[in-house]
Structure 1
Amino acid sequence: MSKKTAVVLFGGQSSEHVVSCMSVVNVIDHINKDKYDLLLIGITEEGHWIKTESVKEIKDGTWREGSVRAILSPDAGMGAVILLDGTKTELVEADVVFPVLHGLLGEDGTVQGLLELSRIPYVGCGVLSSAVSMDKLYTKIIVDDLGVRQAAYVPVMRHQLKNMEQVIARVEERFDYPVFVKPSNAGSSKGVSRAEDKKELETALLEAARHDRKILVEEMIVGREIECAVLGGGNQPVKASGVGEILAAAEFYDFDAKYNNADSKTVIDPQLPDGAAERVREAAKAVFQAVDGRGLARVDFFVKSDGTVVFNEINTMPGFTAISMYPMLWEAAGISKDQLVNCLMEDALSRFDD
């Protein structure tokens, strides 16, 4: 049987560029090389698409110096990547794409839209589910109708900050301090702040506005940070893993706590109040299906001391780094990284057959 060509995208223009470069190394390591020939394409932070020769180049960062540019053709009749090396042009037909891209301009439906135009099968959620899951405000609007508990919120638009006193009054009328302030579209907790008083709220709103024009101010939920992995969708049944707990080394699980603080830890299958783990699993599947998810997602919750489950957010291309919860949860459920990646690739190949 002839091998298929799998295009692996990584890097990207988001604040999670470095995390993507860490994730993709693990993904590549677990793709079955007997079934797939790989075409590695890195996207620089400036948005240049560059053919990459090896995992070694990804690890040492030299891939960014590559001279061969890559263009994913939107022509549905081609299903191909165009490689440009000076005056030389090469057309490589692509059978499947694994977009190991986190955050904006990668996980938010933009690349997925390009792949839909090209009609090249791809791993993961589609345009709609990627876009609404990346946008915390619209995720909340969808979850509002599910009957799944989530943090109460006040939406704020960047232009409204010209009348900062009115915005602060609206927040203070709804919530007591402390509150959390988040940009609606940002990854890995970039721009997220905790505000203890009016002055900190103003600072937090201005910081969030640097990352997005839509901002969420949320009530503070006191609870344990619990995550659940989801697999399936499309024409496959949706499965939920067991649960894992984040023990953040910082006041909350921001970008530095996730990736730069060795004291942050993850615990698989933690002891939770009776029935809470199953409620997390059911809610994770419900949220995934509500956003029309496909392939994979990690769904994050808080579990309060009385066992109440509170939805936090959904990530449609969760991290695949050595410390990432998503593959760890499936390994604990008996699905190895090899099996997990193969399952995702096989599902992708059937994408346009549904």
Structure 2
Amino acid sequence: MNVVLIYGGRSGEHEISLTSCAAVARNISSAHNVTMISLSKDGKWYLEPNAFEEIRKNPEAKLCVHADEAMRVSVVPGGGKSGAFFANGKYIAADVVFPVLHGTYGEDGTIQGLLQMAGVPFVGCGVFSSSATMDKIQTKIIWEHAGLPVVPYMCISRSDVNDSKLYDALVQKAVDTLKFPLFVKPCSAGSSDGASKANNAKELSFALMEAFGWDNKVLIEKAIDAREVECSVTGNSVTASFSNEKTLLKTYGPGEIVPKHDFYDYDAKYNDPDGAELKIPALLEKDQLEYIRETAKKAYKAVDASGLSRVDFFIDRRDGKIYLNEINTIPGFTSISMFPKMCASEGLDFTNLIDYLFEEALANFASYDSLRTSRG
């Protein structure tokens, strides 16, 4: 199969994408013909003709973006599997595309829409589910409407900041109703970018300034003393069919993250090798395990997810109540990432996981490609 792996991107998670995609490249079946495309931090696309071979041969090799103008990639709307990508004077065959991208311009529906317009199958969620789940507020609204449990929250927009009285009133309302400590997060940033914990008014002011540096909408959430548990989900929540096993919803895990820091932030996740302990499976009661798996499926279905996602939970240490935290539609694929580890713990190793995702992507594409788009 002709596979295109895309990495990098215009995102605060650019470097994580390089690591994730390198892991995918090292573990992909040798039966595939792989082409790699990099996305620079300013959004330019480049063909990387030597990247795959170098990654496979050298265990110490790292992916990077070679800004070679002769290797600029063009995406052709309607090009299909044989003509969606053009670079270096020729078309690049793409039976399936795996956008191993995290955060903005990767998980937010933008590249999904582009690939859909190009007419190529791709791994992961579609436009709606990608864009909706990138926004933490919209995700909570959808889940609340579906009757699923979320942590109490408020939202403040940049337009609110322009009215100082309104802004002050909203901040005070958050303090009065949610109580300190609070978590403050940009609505559409990933990997805890711009997120911080506030224990008092001064810290809240700084936290809001930091979050508004990343997004125009900010989420203020009640901070609970919680265990952090994650569950992997695969399958298609819209077109799942018993006639095609690859589309059926399956859960793996859950696993638990035990942070060594007060807050499991970006540095704890990616820069500190001892930032957290991962426990797979999570040490939970049988009824808790079953509840988390079923709730992960419901959360996945509520946002019309497909392909794969990692659904994150909080378990309140005081009363044991379980809350949905967020959903990641292209979770990390690094050597320490929970998603592939949870799948492997239940017998789906990295190589077979990748093939599984390709097959689901092809089934998803075939289903949508068969739908009518005109009256003629």
Deviations 1:101-157 (A, max 9, x none): 000001110000001111100000000011111110100000102222110111110
Structure 1 window deviating more from structure 2 (316-325 vs 192-201): it is: 192-201
TM norm structure 1: 0.94
Match of 1:243 in 2: 254
**Do the aligned partners of 2:16 and 2:332 also contact (CA within 8 Å) in 1?**
yes
Task: Give the Cα–Cα distance (whole angstroms) in 1 for the partners of residues 357 and 326 of structure 2.
Answer: 22
SS in 2 for 1:285: helix
- Mapping of 1:82-161 within 5 angstroms? 82-85=85-88, 89-161=89-161
Give the direction of change, closer, same or farther, for the CA distance of 1:61–1:93 in structure 2 (3 Å limit). Answer: closer
| Of 168, 176, 192, the match for 2:171 | 168
Any idea what SS the aligned residue of 2:103 has? coil
Could you tell me which runs of 5 or more consecutive residues in structure 2 were left unpaired when the two chains were aligned. Answer: 241-246, 368-376
Please name the residue that 1:257 is paired with: 268
Return the letter of the residue paired with 2:337. S
Summarize the Cα distance change of 1:14–1:313 in structure 2 as closer, same or farther, 3 Å threshold.
same
CA distance in 1, matches of 2:67, 2:208: 38
Unaligned residue ranges in structure 1 (runs of 5+): none
Say whether residues 1:42 and 2:55 are aligned partners: no
SS in 2 for 1:227: strand
Give the letter aligned to residue 261 of structure 1: D
Pair 1:278–1:78, CA change in 2 (3 A)? closer
Larger displacement relative to structure 2 (309-318 or 276-285): 276-285
When structure 1 is superposed on structure 2, of 267-276 and 124-133 the one drifting more is: 267-276
Residue in structure 1 matched with residue 72 of structure 2 by the alignment = 69
Distance 1:136 1:237 in 2: 26
Shift, 1:241, TM fit = 0.8
Q: Secondary structure at the match of 2:66?
A: helix
- Work out whether residues 70 and 81 of structure 1, in 8 Å CA contact, stay in contact via their aligned partners in 2: no
> What is residue 212 of structure 1 aligned with on the other side?
215
Q: 1:225 aligns with which of 224, 228, 251?
A: 228
Structure number with higher strand proportion: 1
Whole-angstrom distance in 2 between the partners of 1:202 and 1:232: 42
Residue 298 of structure 2 is matched in structure 1 by: 286
TM-score, length of structure 2 as denominator length? 0.88
- The structural deviation recorded for 1:161 is 1.8
Q: Return the offset for 1:69.
A: 1.1
Hey, what does 1:342 align to over in structure 2? 355
CA distance in 1, matches of 2:141, 2:65: 40
**Structure 1 Cα separation of the partners of residues 11 and 25 of structure 2:** 21
Q: Kindly provide the CA deviation profile for residues 294-313 of structure 1, in whole angstroms up to 9, marking residues without a partner as x.
A: 01000000112343211100
Give, in whole Å, the separation in 2 of the partners of 1:77 and 1:124.
Answer: 18
Q: How does 1:174-189 map to 2 (within 5 A)?
A: 174-189=177-192
Aligned to 2:278: 266
**Which string of whole-angstrom CA distances, capped at 9 and with x for unpartnered residues, describes residues 143-200 of structure 1?**
1022221101111101212324222222123121111111100010001111111121
